[in-house]
Amino acid sequence: MSRQSVPKLTACAAVLALAAGPAAAQDAAEEWTQGYTPWGDPDLQGVNTFSTNTPLQRPEELGDRETYTAEELAELEAAAAERFTREGGPVREGTVGTYNSFWTSNEKGRLMERTSLIVDPPDGRLPPVLERGQIIWEEQAAAMEDRRVGEEPFVETLYRSWMDFPAYERCVARPMPRVWQSYNHGVQILQTPGYVVIHYESMNDVRIIPLDGRPHIDDSIRLWNGDSRGHWEGDTLVVDWTNFSDRQLFDAGRAGPPLNFPQGNMRYTVRFTRLDEDTIEYRVTVEDPTIWTRPWTFAMPWRGDDPNYQEPEHLYEFACHEGNYRMMENSLKGSRTLEERYR
């Protein structure tokens, strides 16, 4: 997949430029030339990863600060490195213990200068929720509290039926858009005349995005991964993404509550812009007038220089059978044991 894009701006510089804002990204881009496919579309093709340690929401204690200092970034990176090697939480008698972040790749992700992935609202935080969103969150919080047993630091979560497991844990579907995940964060973009294809390593999800101006499928048809329609605005691919199923729940990873809202009324406007040979800016505007008081936008880099996915470019095999029945069987058995112990 030739990208025909030289001279090359280093991915590190591009990520910092993205973090600093559009003006800095534009200045950096002047050192690099956009490549094009044989049929003339901007070339976005390649294997990327989107792991990052930058939180979706800005920590409240940072107030209006949009970026970290170099010293603060160094401290945060050192803390992430410690979590990578430090053993997990306290070991309980009768258990095999836990594991450190070596086994999950989230701590291997890079920090950006920005203090949050959210770039709008300006405070870097999710907008307030409306009454429907508050009711949904309170119901979820009450249901989760009812499933908890034990005392800190050994609080356990009970699973009373298969319905207590999210769709992802049942290997049915994983929420979109992919904001943050601890592993299997590879993604491949393939282009053909009139189409862009996005293949996600996790769940082997494939989105085929037409570029010919056709309308969305009928509103009565709802899909786990929604329905996408794309077009080019200059060198930026713009994708209108809608028609989600309410069975799928929006998930923003480590953003903190409230998070898990039904996606049926959600609409995303996604922009893909190549910043250099190894970096694509992934910018998503989220709208749901039944949940949030206003739309909000986050931006993050998709990076094509992760050595674990290069030479040659590839995605790792993802194996997860629908139903995930062995996990479910063991979790339900364990929950019955916990119920006998605590109740």
Cα separation values, 221 from 196, 260, 264, 322, Å? 22, 22, 11, 22
174 in helix, strand or coil?
coil
> What's the pLDDT at 97?
65
3 located within any domain:
no
323 located within any domain:
yes
* pLDDT tens by residue, the chain, 343 residues: 333 333 333 444 444 455 455 445 555 546 889 999 999 999 999 999 998 888 899 999 999 999 999 999 888 888 877 766 665 566 666 666 666 666 555 445 677 889 999 999 999 999 999 999 999 988 988 988 999 998 887 888 899 998 899 888 899 999 899 887 667 889 999 999 999 999 999 999 999 999 999 999 999 999 999 999 999 999 999 999 999 999 988 876 554 554 689 999 999 999 999 999 999 999 999 999 999 999 999 999 999 998 889 888 999 999 888 889 899 999 999 999 999 888 7
> What's the pLDDT at 108?
52
Could you identify the residue written with the tokens 């480590």? 254
Q: Is 70 exposed, middle or buried (0-12, 13-18, 19+ CB in 10 A)?
A: exposed
Peptide bond just before 177 cis, omega within 30 deg: yes
Helix and strand numbers, DSSP H then E, in the chain? 5, 12
- The amino acid that residue 291 corresponds to is I
307 located within any domain:
yes
Tell me which DSSP letter residue 182 carries: S
Q: Of 165, 116, 126, whose CA–CA distance to 257 is shortest?
A: 126
> What's the pLDDT at 18?
54
- How many distinct structural domains can be found in the chain? 1
> What's the pLDDT at 291?
94
299 located within any domain:
yes
Helix ranges (H only) for 105-246 are 131-146
| Phi, then psi, of 42 in degrees rounded to 5 | -55, 135
> What's the pLDDT at 203?
93
100 located within any domain:
no
Distance CA 301, CA 16 (A): 10
Three-state SS letters, 76-133: HHHHHHHHHHCCCCCCCCCCCCCCCHHHCHHHHCECCCECCCEEECCCCCCCCECHHH
112 located within any domain:
no
C-beta of residue 44 within 8 angstroms of C-beta of residue 91: no
What is the value of pTM for the model shown? 0.85
Could you identify the residue written with the tokens 């213990």? 97
305 located within any domain:
yes
Supply the angle between the helices 22-29 and 11-20 in degrees, to the nearest 10. 150
Domain span holding position 144: 11-57+119-342
327 located within any domain:
yes
